[in-house]
Structure 1
Amino acid sequence: MAVSFTAVVARSSVQEVLLIPLKAPKMHMGAPAVFFFEEEISQSENFLQFALVSKCTQGRPPLFEVKRTLQADFHLAVDVLVSSLDSRHLLLLFMLQSDFIRLWLKEQTYIKGYPFRFFKWTREFKVGFEAFVVPIWVSFPNLPVNLYQGNFFKLVAGAVGKVLKVDGATTVVSRTIAARACVEIDLKSCLSEKVWIGYGASGFFQQVVYERLPAYCTGYSKLGYCVEQCRRRSTGIQKEGVQGVNLLQPGAGKLVEGVAETCDAPAVVDGV
């Protein structure tokens, strides 16, 4: 039986009360204003590090049904806090990273017949805009087998993105054709097809293969769409003579206002 979210928080020995200095209101553009420093904003986001936004555009069952189904279907170790952001979005707060990753890696699930999609919560979240930070499995073909173990491989995979999970076959070195890890990828960033690995007095470029990398449309801020499918940008792009391409495939560069920006400089791992 899953331990309740409230119980875990109550038993936690680290219950920090967020205290920041009180500030007198100011005026900005004719209206009362309050300003937060970047460090304060980052501090306020700590409890949301394992938060997902669930999108349910076709409706949803009651919150208790959503919660009960998630606990049963995904075998959550600890209870999840489910709250409503609006009629089409739910906020899911997890206490354990393992529970958070297990659900985030699931592209879509059905609860009582309703489709649910999951996105990582970020400060940029707004209703109607899908997150551009996604979990992606990446492979490193022909990586030296001695780099499969522990933090050696996490350092290699970490050059691509934050490591969320290492493939079991890589951990036990039972499949050495390619090492695999699931990493956190920003689809708007420049995705490199290789990383540099410093190897003693020398080094080498290691190939990176992105598995099932989705397209992202900046016109509608939707996953699964690329420029040629975006009606909002297609007119402007055709007028400028720029042909639509699947911009967010591996090595294609990053998407800037519907135009591909090539990533010429490879990622480099310092100090490995």
Structure 2
Amino acid sequence: MAIARSLPVTVRTLADIVSDRPLPMPEVIVPMREAKLIEGELCFVFNKEEINRTATPFRFSVVLSFQRHRLSLDVIRGYIKNRWGLISMPVVGAMRRACNVLVRLTNEADFVTAMSREIMDIASVPYKIFHWTPTFNEYEESVLAPVWIFLPGLQPHFFHESTLKIFAGSYGRYLRTDNATACVSRPEGARMCGEMDVSKDHRSYFWIGPPNKTRSHFQEVVFETLPAYCSTCRIQGHSKTTCRREKLNAGKQKKRVSQSKADLKRFERSK
């Protein structure tokens, strides 16, 4: 007679339960005010300083926009907890658009870790990551994206974080370097990650020292993960020159112009 073996039971401690419970958002006090009627419409008006203060608890928040389908929140929370290596567990919640998830991080170190991850997927489902701001629009992707930059041939005495921040300042906001750069274990070049405006063109080189001088150094810049941006669709992933919508609009415009010319010719013949 076979003896049934019971499955091992994982006992959750009080500390585990408390650590998984989301903490309330820090309260920001805004002075009371009455509603206004402007052009017959009911509205509430806040000044820029008040908006910035109310956004303070979210200054390190990021949005994960999943490309195929959004995983369950439990899977996302578990993956972040076990794989991201954060200092503290963030609050993760679904946004209005089904593919978007807001991750409320609480410190700058965790924000940098999340933004600069080189593998942008959870359980093999890819996502794009955006820094949340008060002007964030769920239906228009931000022009800002984390980009890994390689500086081939950079002299190793410029591998210091302070000097790399100077170089990154011309391209965007510095986030971090990789471990090989920090340890100078790959002196063939330095890698750093920065938050860049991907809708703009960026220089592929710079000079360290006055240009074209004997003792100056010509530095090549390689953008390893620079995504294209379409100003028509307002999304990352393709450019305006390869945009299907742009080509369709151009085709319609060309057809309208041809039709207008044909109508004009018929009108002139009928005179």
TM-score, scaled to structure 1: 0.69
CA change 1:44–1:196 in 2 (3 A) is farther
Q: State the 1:207 CA deviation.
A: 3.8
Match for residue 29 of structure 1? 39
- Which one has a bigger Cα radius of gyration? 2
Deviations 1:39-85 (A, max 9, x none): 33222222222212122465444423321222123233311211111
Unmatched tracts of structure 2, length 5 or more: 1-14, 255-271
The code of the aligned residue for 1:161 comes to: G
Q: Is residue 155 of structure 1 aligned with residue 166 of structure 2?
A: yes
Deviations 1:171-226 (A, max 9, x none): 22333332221001111244233446568xx9776443222311111222222111
State which of 122, 136, 141 in structure 2 corresponds to 1:130: 141
Unmatched tracts of structure 1, length 5 or more: 242-272
Q: Is the 8 A contact 1:59 1:114 kept in 2?
A: yes
RMSD: 3.4
The code of the aligned residue for 1:76 comes to: L
Alpha-carbon distance in structure 2 between the residues aligned to 1:170 and 1:139: 10
Q: State the 1:92 CA deviation.
A: 0.9
State which of 131, 138, 150 in structure 2 corresponds to 1:139: 150
The code of the aligned residue for 2:121 comes to: T
State which of 245, 252, 266 in structure 2 corresponds to 1:232: 245
Alpha-carbon distance in structure 1 between the residues aligned to 2:172 and 2:93: 29
CA change 1:63–1:35 in 2 (3 A) is same
Q: Is residue 167 of structure 1 aligned with residue 168 of structure 2?
A: no
CA change 1:52–1:60 in 2 (3 A) is same
State which of 188, 210, 214 in structure 2 corresponds to 1:177: 188
Alpha-carbon distance in structure 1 between the residues aligned to 2:198 and 2:178: 22
**Of 94-103 and 163-172, the range deviating more from structure 2:** 94-103
CA change 1:46–1:190 in 2 (3 A) is farther
Match for residue 187 of structure 1? 198
Structure with the higher fraction of residues in strand conformation: 1
Alpha-carbon distance in structure 1 between the residues aligned to 2:228 and 2:31: 43
TM-score, scaled to structure 2: 0.70
Alpha-carbon distance in structure 2 between the residues aligned to 1:117 and 1:52: 10
Match for residue 255 of structure 1? none
The code of the aligned residue for 1:108 comes to: M
Match for residue 235 of structure 2? 222
Q: Is the 8 A contact 1:154 1:163 kept in 2?
A: yes
Q: State the 1:135 CA deviation.
A: 0.7
1:74-85 map, 5 Å: 74-85=84-95
CA change 1:49–1:190 in 2 (3 A) is farther
1:23-62 map, 5 Å: 23-56=33-66, 58-62=68-72
Q: State the 1:116 CA deviation.
A: 4.3
Alpha-carbon distance in structure 1 between the residues aligned to 2:148 and 2:244: 30
